[in-house]
Amino acid sequence: MKVVKFGGSSLATGQQVNKVVNIIKADPDRQVIVTSAPGKRFKGDTKVTDLLIQYATQVQQQTDYQPTVQAILARYQAISDYFELPADTLNQIQAKLTGLATTTFTDADHQLAAFKAHGEWLNAILIAAVLTHQGISAKFMDPKTAGIRVSGQPNDADILPETYTNLAQLHAGDTRLVFPGFFGYTPQGSLFTFARGGSDITGAILSRGFSADLYENFTDVDAIYAANNHVVDHPAIIQKMSYREMRELSYAGFSVFQDEAIIPAVQGQVPVNVKNTNNPEAPGTLIVPSQFVFNPACPITGIASSNRFSALYLHRYLLNKEVGFTLKLLEIFQRYNISYEHMPSGIDDLTIIFDRSKLDEATIKHLCADVRKTLAPDYMEWIDDYAIIMVVGEGIAHNVDTIGKVIDSLTENNIAIHMINQGASRISIMLGVQAGDADNAVRQIYQTFFQPSEVTTHD
Ligand SMILES: Nc1ncnc2c1ncn2[C@@H]1O[C@H](COP(=O)(O)OP(=O)(O)O)[C@@H](O)[C@H]1O
Ligand SMILES: N[C@@H](CC(=O)OP(=O)(O)O)C(=O)O
């Protein structure tokens, strides 16, 4: 059997949902369906998840939320109208949506999570009704009853292992099971969402839980490209890649597949196929346990970049001899309850790279003051506009001149490299550059390794 996840772009309008219905109809193995919230219909449109965040904020601040509720409802209404559904489904959606404003929550974080989750929740109810109306046997699955158990933070959940025991009790078959993506419940019954883009995670969890033969992830591009298609014109299509390559590329910016979503697929050894709802005949990209065929012409599978980082640079002579320097630094991070992403070091230097989206201005200010006071560095600098470029390929470990070519492509174009890290993961080269240089850096590296419109053939 297959688990099939449809992203927000695939469920944005009635017309898109009709394509989804045809995709489901075309293959009886597509037994478990995962829905996102309706996404953007056009450039500049607002995703329903973002409207729900706005709704939650307006309720918290006691400002007028009615226009937001109407805007959200209109999104579901348009899909319902397209299929001429009887009124009861939309009435149910409207009641759930409006009821949110008067529900009491433990705190603002729990409230935000519950509001956000309604994007996928209401869509799963709607899609189950559409499928039934189209003569396909289907039922809505409540993540609470199905046993999707999570821990962690209300808006950044981690899956609990008992989920898999619970899911193993369920049976997919002729009746398609429609699950809302993006959220689960703590053992105490609180609703927590995964990080943004987390419907991909739900799809992967269900793939493992149902021991699926394949996890199909339907989106709005023909495949995963070797570089972001908004940065490089007509980038090469990746036909096949390994789980490890996908993890590194999605971590570093390939937003097409959420970076944590590969983990349940790895644990369940379920292959993932990223495909296009608008062109379902195209083979898409297959992500498999391991994938390596030596291709001396192109050892690289993809180049990703992300501007979501900041860095703290520390310099102190004889740092290499100082016992406990890093320990003291880590204790400071622990006091502020923050994690770091990377920590490349030199003889007398240390750079600590953070995910900027997890830090606010006040925390940065206090953190820097604390580091200065406790460790007295000779020089310290907070670099706010830091980008990481990740050059990824199983072939890198087998091709000694890759790093030289990457460096040349940047230096020849006057792009300053602030950090290089190769070897920690044998399949990637990580580079730190100024955020403003990131897109140009990706383009220059891409041109060095790929021909225009080339298709990577790592098989
Ligand atoms: N390397 C890449 N390959 C394919 N798409 C990419 C890549 N990097 C970024 N993207 C973007 O990811 C988008 C799809 O992800 P997303 O918007 O989350 O889809 P969905 O709505 O299906 O969840 C594509 O439209 C594309 O612009
Ligand atoms: N709707 C959620 C979760 C998600 O996965 O959405 P999408 O499939 O549209 O990326 C979000 O916007 O974060």
Pairing of strands 183-185, 191-193: antiparallel
- Rounded Cα distance between 442 and 235, Å, is 11
ipTM reported for the complex, 2 dp: 0.98
For ligand 1, the distance from its centroid to the CA atom of residue 149, given in whole angstroms, is 28
Q: Could you state, in chain order, the average pLDDT of each consecutive group of 10 residues for the chain (459 residues)?
A: 97 98 97 98 97 98 97 98 96 97 96 98 98 96 98 96 96 92 97 97 98 97 96 95 94 92 96 98 94 74 94 91 91 93 90 91 94 95 93 89 94 93 84 95 95 50
Q: Is 321 exposed, middle or buried (0-12, 13-18, 19+ CB in 10 A)?
A: exposed
Q: Which atom of ligand 2 lies closest to the CA of 47?
A: 12
Residue to probe by mutation, ligand 1, list 222, 249, 255, most atoms within 8 Å of CB: 255
Of 39, 41, 29, 37, which Cα lies nearest the Cα of 4? 29
Chain centroid offset of residue 311 CA: 22
* Atom 10 of ligand 2, nearest CA residue: 197
| Tokens describing residue 384 | 């706010």
Q: What is the pLDDT of residue 459?
A: 44
One-letter-per-residue 3-state SS of the chain: CEEEEECHHHHCCHHHHHHHHHHHHHCCCEEEEEECCCCCCCCCCCCHHHHHHHHHHHHHCCCCCHHHHHHHHHHHHHHHHHCCCCHHHHHHHHHHHHHHHHCCCCCHHHHHHHHHHHHHHHHHHHHHHHHHHCCCCEEECCHHHHCCEEEEECCEEEECCHHHHHHHCCCCCCCEEEEECCEEECCCCCEEECCCCCHHHHHHHHHHHCCCCEEEEEECCCCCECCCCCCCCCCCEECEEEHHHHHHHHHCCCCCCCCCCHHHHHHHCCCEEEEECCCCCCCCEEEECCCCCCCCCCCCCEEEEEEEEEEEEEECCCHHHCCCHHHHHHHHHHHCCCCCCECCECCCEEEEEEEHHHCCHHHHHHHHHHHHHHHCCCEEEEEEEEEEEEEECHHHHHCCCHHHHHHHHHHCCCCCCCEEEECCCCCEEEEEEEHHHHHHHHHHHHHHHCCCCCCECCC
- Rounded Cα distance between 246 and 202, Å, is 17
Nearest ligand for residue 182 CA: 2
Of 310, 371, 381, 374, which Cα lies nearest the Cα of 342? 310
Q: What is the pLDDT of residue 425?
A: 73
Phi, psi of 63 (to 5 degrees): -105, 175
Angle at 259 between CA 127 and CA 446, to 5 degrees: 115
For ligand 1, the distance from its centroid to the CA atom of residue 19, given in whole angstroms, is 18
Q: What is the pLDDT of residue 452?
A: 55
On whether the CB atoms of residues 393 and 406 are closer than 8 A, the answer is no
How many CB atoms sit inside 10 A of residue 230's CB?
Answer: 8
On whether the CB atoms of residues 93 and 125 are closer than 8 A, the answer is yes
Using CA atoms in the order 182, 185, 190, 194, what is the torsion angle rounded to 10 degrees? -30
| Tokens describing residue 232 | 């490089």
Could you tell me the maximum CA-CA distance found in the chain, to the nearest angstrom? 75
Does ligand 2 lie within 6 Å of residue 119's CB atom? Answer: yes
Q: Which atom of ligand 2 lies closest to the CA of 39?
A: 9
Nearest ligand for residue 193 CA: 2
Does ligand 2 lie within 6 Å of residue 377's CB atom? Answer: no
- Rounded Cα distance between 178 and 131, Å, is 10
Residue to probe by mutation, ligand 1, list 41, 229, 251, most atoms within 8 Å of CB: 229
For ligand 1, the distance from its centroid to the CA atom of residue 256, given in whole angstroms, is 3
Per CATH, domain 302-449 is 3.30.2130.10: yes
Chain centroid offset of residue 288 CA: 18
On whether the CB atoms of residues 31 and 177 are closer than 8 A, the answer is yes
Cβ partners under 8 Å of residue 456, min gap 6: 226, 236, 237, 238, 239, 298, 301, 450
* Per-residue CA distances from 24 to 27, 109, 134, 269, 441 (Å): 6, 35, 11, 23, 40
How many CB atoms sit inside 10 A of residue 263's CB?
Answer: 16
Within 6 Å (CB) of ligand 1, which residues are found?
7-10, 36, 39, 197, 219-221, 224-225, 228-230, 254-256
Q: What is the pLDDT of residue 411?
A: 95
The one-letter amino acid code at 135 reads G
Q: Which atom of ligand 1 lies closest to the CA of 9?
A: 21
- Common-topology check for domains 2-220 and 302-449: no
Give domain limits for the chain: 2-220, 302-449
Nearest ligand for residue 218 CA: 1
Q: Pick one of 3.40.1160.10, 3.40.50.620, 3.40.50.970, 3.40.190.10 as the CATH number of 2-220.
A: 3.40.1160.10
For ligand 2, the distance from its centroid to the CA atom of residue 82, given in whole angstroms, is 22
* Atom 6 of ligand 2, nearest CA residue: 197
Residue to probe by mutation, ligand 1, list 34, 221, 272, most atoms within 8 Å of CB: 221
